[in-house]
Amino acid sequence: MGEKLNYVIVAIIVALIAVVATYYLAPGKAGKNVTEIRNVTEIKKIKAGFIYVGPIGDLGWTNAHDRARRIVDDKFDWLETVYIESVAIDQTSAMVDRLINDEKCDIIFTTSFDFMDPTVQAAKDHPSTTFMHCSGYKTAENLGVYFADFYQIYYLNGLMAGALTKSGKLGYVGAHPIPEVLRHINAFALGAKEVNPNAKVYVRWINNWYDPTKAKEAADALVGEGCDVLAFTEDSATVVQEAEKFTNEGKQVYSFSHYSPMWNFGNNSCVSGQLVHWEDLYEIILERFYTGAWDNRGYDYLLSEGGVELGSKFGEPINAKFIPDLQAKKVTDPLLGQVSVYDLVMKRIDQMKQTSVAFDPFTGPIFDQNQNLKFKAGERASYLALYGSDMNWFVSNVEGSPSG
């Protein structure tokens, strides 16, 4: 009798282990890189804190980061996230202290270039906490960097802008003159020049990441000066809305949206834009941290990594309203021969999605505003040349100061 009872007990225990193992190995119950079977009585948890430079409802940069935060928070049952929005540079240290001391965060993401030096100091002050800084280039033992960059997408936007403009004047509303924004303006200008050698980009700085009032004033001023295309780096849909207003009043002004889907704000004027998949980066970084595989490597996601996407809404690279005009505009490419701008855009996407990256916009010869040769014929810009402090200049067809 006692032997039988022992068999029954063993059978029950085996059945319970099988049920629990099946549950925890089911899709969605573990990250892609998590292969171990965890203790069934307690799943290890981690807490991630996010520091945002703008409000989460800005429809631009911060909105895109927060969308990604929500995606990974929903995906991983071992993850808890918190965030602090609209943080000024001089508040960074206090917000880090709050996330560590009050929220007990294990890893902190600081999501603006402006936070770079305060994050470096925070990493020194809190050596047992892991930090990831977005868009910077300084690292430490417990500090890594990450970015999903748009310069390839801005180049594609420039191809379309150069093809569609009637005046040859393209306006750009810029937030701050930092390497990231200068790189994007230069890429936009290079694309425009490739299909329209007479096209020029006119820059107006507003010195703020989120300021709809100044963005409106800058957009209106650029249109008043003859610009019939508007691109921008500012975290609202204001510039797109202004282009739509002018268009609906009978003056066609084309626009290219920024970071978040903005097609609904300008379906008659918004040609395309830049979209980001921060969730891909947050997923891999948090999985590595959770499994103990984190290191301070830098992550730089472009088209080939799937971190960015062409379009003003997900899944639609170009507003269908403008495809016929882009198909009608023909240009001659040294390798492709005569090709429509629409086909050229699609070809460039294919080339830049390749692992080998068969084409890069920053390939010489490229001259700056003073006709200094920055990259000789056939030379591709290095990572440091594009992302470091040496990116402090404008290409030859940009009007405005790169220093603000």
pLDDT value of position 42:
60
Pick 26 or 368 by higher pLDDT.
Answer: 368
Distance CA 331, CA 339 (A): 6
Determine the 3-state secondary structure of 321 from DSSP. Answer: helix
Q: Are 218 and 188 in contact (CB under 8 A)?
A: no
CA distances from residue 178 to 24, 97, 285, 361, 401 in whole angstroms, order as listed? 46, 27, 25, 19, 12
Q: Which residues contact 253 (CB under 8 A, 6 or more apart)?
A: 223, 227, 228, 229, 230, 242, 243, 246, 247, 269
Distance CA 387, CA 318 (A): 28
pLDDT value of position 79:
98
Distance CA 296, CA 138 (A): 10
Q: Do domains 46-148+278-301 and 151-275+309-399 have the same CATH topology?
A: yes
Report pLDDT digits (tens) over 242-282.
Answer: 999 999 999 999 999 998 899 999 999 999 999 999 999 99
Confidence category of residue 28, pLDDT binned at 50, 70, 90? very low
Confidence category of residue 109, pLDDT binned at 50, 70, 90? very high
Q: Which residues contact 21 (CB under 8 A, 6 or more apart)?
A: 37
Task: State yes or no: pLDDT of 58 exceeds 80.
Answer: yes
Report pLDDT digits (tens) over 309-364.
Answer: 999 999 999 999 999 999 999 999 999 999 999 999 999 999 999 999 999 999 99
Domain residue ranges of the chain, discontinuous segments joined by +: 46-148+278-301, 151-275+309-399
Other beta carbons less than 10 A from residue 214's beta carbon = 18
Task: State yes or no: pLDDT of 21 exceeds 70.
Answer: no
Q: ∠208-396-352 over CA atoms, to 5°?
A: 80
DSSP assignment of 177-241: -SHHHHHHHHHHHHHHHHH-TT-EEEEEE---SS-HHHHHHHHHHHHHTT--EEEE--SSSHHHH
b/e code 226-255 from CB counts within 10 Å (16+ = b): ebbbbbbbbbbbbbbbbbbbbbeeeeebbb
Determine the 3-state secondary structure of 251 from DSSP. Answer: coil
pLDDT value of position 8:
38
Determine the 3-state secondary structure of 92 from DSSP. Answer: helix
pLDDT value of position 374:
98
Report CA dihedral (267, 269, 274, 277) to the nearest 10 degrees: -10
Mean per-residue pLDDT of the chain: 91
Other beta carbons less than 10 A from residue 196's beta carbon = 22
Task: State yes or no: pLDDT of 30 exceeds 70.
Answer: no
In a 13 Å sphere around the CA of 267, the CA atoms on its Cβ side amount to 1
Q: ∠202-323-61 over CA atoms, to 5°?
A: 50
b/e code 344-365 from CB counts within 10 Å (16+ = b): bbbbbbebbeeeeeebbbbeee
Confidence category of residue 287, pLDDT binned at 50, 70, 90? very high
Task: State yes or no: pLDDT of 162 exceeds 90.
Answer: yes
Note the CATH number of domain 151-275+309-399: 3.40.50.2300
Q: For residue 53, give the nearest of 143, 107, 116, 124 by alpha carbon.
A: 116
Q: Are 108 and 143 in contact (CB under 8 A)?
A: no
Note the CATH number of domain 46-148+278-301: 3.40.50.2300
Distance of CA 303 to the CA centre of its chain: 11
